[in-house]
Amino acid sequence: MSVATMHAQTLVLVRVACDDGIEGWGEATTIGGLNYGDESPESIKVNIDTHIAPLLVGMDARYVAKAMAKIRKVIQGNRFAKCAIETALMDAQARRLGIPLSELLGGRLRDELPVAWTLASGDTLKDIAEAEKMLALRRHRIFKLKIGLRPVTDDIAHVLAIKKALGDDVSIRVDVNQAWSELDAVVGIAALEAGGIDLIEQPLRAENMAGMKRLTDRFSVAIMADEALHGPLDAFAMATQGTVDVFAVKITQSGGLIPALRVGSIAQLAGISLYGGTMLEGSVGTAAAAHVFSTFGELRFGTELFGPLLLTEEILVEPLVYKDFMLQVPNKPGLGVEIDRQKLQALRRK
Ligand code: MN
């Protein structure tokens, strides 16, 4: 990414133990420590242990919304930490009720979700070979290219060469991760639009909402907000101002599962298209996001729930199922996943 190169990932996993013997799991994972956002794995753990967990002790675990309201009233920010807690509480509740988490969230409309793959080596031939391998495996046919580190003309040549090699049966998108100036963006997007690229993700700094609107007005290719979207209030502001065509919904960036649902509702009311984003979570966070996205009627741009596929270690007893370009949304009670506790213990950071 334009913000960081990652060789390892720290997952923050939360386990909530309830008096009735039911446990729930949640995850808060960030990209590149503090490179991407203002929470780090270490800050999330400290803030949960020190400030959030004590608020929950003694509360009735069956009333998840009340518990989250208490936390949200007392704790500012900390969206990732709140998301992990809400996920764990809702996982426990859905297990208690014997239903998949999706059914606590309004109900799933789909059992599988399209999953994009990221090509980020920066080497054109290597990226083409990787995409062809994914197509042959029937794992991905949507590819997102991470650009923004190099001069715009170099990035454009790289993207268009890949598009040309892979043809019209695949969807090619770019994620600039805020790296461009508005002048860069005007030049870059014009070339990408002409070359048949489907989606331009967060070309400008997250704060530059006016600039994003100018790009959305100027170009017909879809412009998507990612880093600019921190939950329902941002979604509402962007929806009323016509800032972008697409929202990348992320459960952690939204501050939880229910706020992520609200982002989805605002988008659907405003005619904004949806894309299911990731913070490169492991299997727990990915399953949680899949349950949320399965409830979206509109999911035109699919998802990027490939986090577990990037990791070399599996922490579930049974891995999530990726098949025929799709991620299957788990359908057992709760998140529908079972943690391998021994594996987890072995991977735990000292
Ligand atoms: Mn992004």
Cα(335) to ligand 1 centroid in Å equals: 25
CB count within 10 Å of CB 350 equals: 2
Contact residues for 126 (Cβ-Cβ < 8 A; gap 6+)? none
Model pTM score: 0.97
Cα(3) to ligand 1 centroid in Å equals: 11
Q: Is the pLDDT of residue 1 over 70?
A: no
Cα(67) to ligand 1 centroid in Å equals: 31
Structure tokens at 121: 């080596």
Q: Where are the domains of the chain?
A: 12-99, 112-328
Euclidean distance between the first and final Cα of the chain, in Å? 28
pLDDT tier at 5, thresholds 50, 70, 90: confident
Cα(58) to ligand 1 centroid in Å equals: 39
Count Cβ neighbours within 10 Å for each residue of 56-89 and write b for 16 or more, e otherwise.
beeeebeebeebbeebeeebeebbbbbbbbbbbb
pLDDT tier at 2, thresholds 50, 70, 90: low
Percent of the chain exceeding pLDDT 70 equals: 99
Cα(279) to ligand 1 centroid in Å equals: 9
Cα(275) to ligand 1 centroid in Å equals: 11
Cα(144) to ligand 1 centroid in Å equals: 9
88-140 confidence digits (pLDDT tens): 999 999 999 999 999 999 999 999 999 999 998 889 999 999 999 999 999 99
Strands (DSSP E) along 199-245, which ranges? 199-201, 222-225
Count Cβ neighbours within 10 Å for each residue of 258-297 and write b for 16 or more, e otherwise.
bbbbbbbebbbeeebbbbbbbbbbbbbbbbbbbbbbbbbe
What pLDDT does residue 104 have? 98
Cα(252) to ligand 1 centroid in Å equals: 13
Cα(162) to ligand 1 centroid in Å equals: 19
Helices (H), 51-151: 53-56, 64-74, 79-97, 124-136
pLDDT tier at 32, thresholds 50, 70, 90: confident
pLDDT tier at 19, thresholds 50, 70, 90: very high
Q: Is the pLDDT of residue 251 over 80?
A: yes
Across the range 279-306, mean pLDDT stands at: 97
Ramachandran angles phi, psi of 249, nearest 5°: -85, 130
Q: Is the pLDDT of residue 24 over 90?
A: yes
Q: Is the pLDDT of residue 202 over 90?
A: yes
Q: Scan for tokens 């788990």, then name that residue.
A: 330
Strands (DSSP E) along the chain, which ranges? 12-17, 23-28, 112-114, 117-119, 142-146, 171-175, 199-201, 222-225, 246-249, 273-276, 322-323, 326-328
d(CA 235, CA 52): 26
296-318 confidence digits (pLDDT tens): 999 999 999 999 999 999 999 99
Q: Is the pLDDT of residue 36 over 90?
A: no
Catalytic residue from among 82, 146, 163, 250: 146
Cα(86) to ligand 1 centroid in Å equals: 23
| Rg (the chain; Cα; Å) | 20
Percent of the chain exceeding pLDDT 90 equals: 93
Q: Please list the residues that pair with 263 across neighbouring strands.
A: none
Q: Identify the burial level of 34 via C-beta atoms within 10 angstroms of its C-beta, where 0-12 means exposed, 13-18 middle and 19 or more buried.
A: middle
pLDDT tier at 6, thresholds 50, 70, 90: confident
Cα(95) to ligand 1 centroid in Å equals: 32
CB count within 10 Å of CB 208 equals: 18
User: Annotated catalytic, 146?
Assistant: yes
d(CA 287, CA 281): 9
Q: 112-328 domain in CATH 3.20.20.120?
A: yes
Lowest-confidence region among 28-42, 54-68, 275-289, 320-334: 28-42
Helix axes 79-97, 64-74, angle to 10 degrees: 170
Q: In CATH, what number does 12-99 get?
A: 3.30.390.10
